Structure 1
Amino acid sequence: MAAHTTPSPGFSRRGFLKWGALGGVVAAGAAFWLVQPGHDRKLAFATLAEAMREVDRLSAAPVQPLDPATAWNWQQTLEHCAQSIEYSLQGFPQPKSALFQRTLGAAAFSVFAWRGRMRHDLAEPIPGAPALDALAPDAATALPRLRAAAQAFTAHAGPLKPHFAYGALDKAQYEQAHAMHLAEHLSAFDIQKA
């Protein structure tokens, strides 16, 4: 006769795997946030207006990427940031699943909001967004586009589209997301030294 064992009430294989996977994600995330790239000025903005003042400061003089160089040039960076703001009004082309947005995406935004800064791959395009123009010699088209996107967001009074990763955000949360996004990208550039 085979012995019958009863699992303890607080333990299940599924629970073990779920908490083990969550622990792995937390450990990987902590390692990612602890490693600071050498080109990070660690900017932080509370509002979109503050972020745009830094865009204007950088755009008033020749700008350079900080070493080690970023994957995108200044024009591509401004275009990417404009896309993000525009999509908050129009809708993102390829959102992650609702489950992802409610779980990992919402958790990531909560951590970023708590820290006042975000961390993400500075060369990762928005899923489904048109490719960034690597051949444009300067920011002549991207800068006005970013300014127009920021102004449209500020003036917008209606509902906002869910963020492709974070899901539904209210206006204050979205403004914080945009300010943090700009801060991280702008931290990789500075005015060119003479």
Structure 2
Amino acid sequence: MLKEIRPALALVVLLTLITGLVYPLAMTGLAQVLFPRQAQGSLIERDGKVIGSELIGQAFTSDRYFHGRPSATLGPDPNDPSKTVPTPYNAVNSGASNLGPTNKALVERVQGDLKHLKAENGSAAVPIDLVTTSSSGLDPHISPEAALYQVPRVARARGVPEEQVRQMVDELIEGRQLGLIGEPRVNVLALNLALDRTSTQP
């Protein structure tokens, strides 16, 4: 019996070392050499300080900034660790809300968001990605339509011409990958950083 068990155990140990140690270390090393910036998280710095990542959205609430998609990620309730509370763009707990289209909480949240968005730009149709969450809850991008929808609010809050803000959006639109994959998009953090570089009004 030992004769049959020994090769099985040796194979388990060997495969564990290969797939659990050698392969991950090799891939990590290759990533660090070939794509060092991406391997470190595609971090964005300003004045020598890391302020975010190109890959993870942030919650911007001021009228002076473009807002990203709603985020359904959760985190521990500081008052009761056995419960969770909404913590937008929580990279530790990536995921969607799993609420169905007839769920009362989801319907009320979307209706509230629509009412707020219509108040800031009632003349235009609200782009769907401004009221729906992504499957990860961390999406750092919005559609060009969602960015352009917010131009009047941002321009008004910053006291700059709408055309100037609209031109900035146009310049930061990212096309489809390889011209085929995905949809055109705008990175919200990159857009807000560009705004701050060109507008100093408090």
How high is the TM-score relative to the length of structure 1? 0.28
How high is the TM-score relative to the length of structure 2? 0.28
Which structure's relative contact order is higher, taking Cα pairs within 8 Å and 6+ residues apart? 1
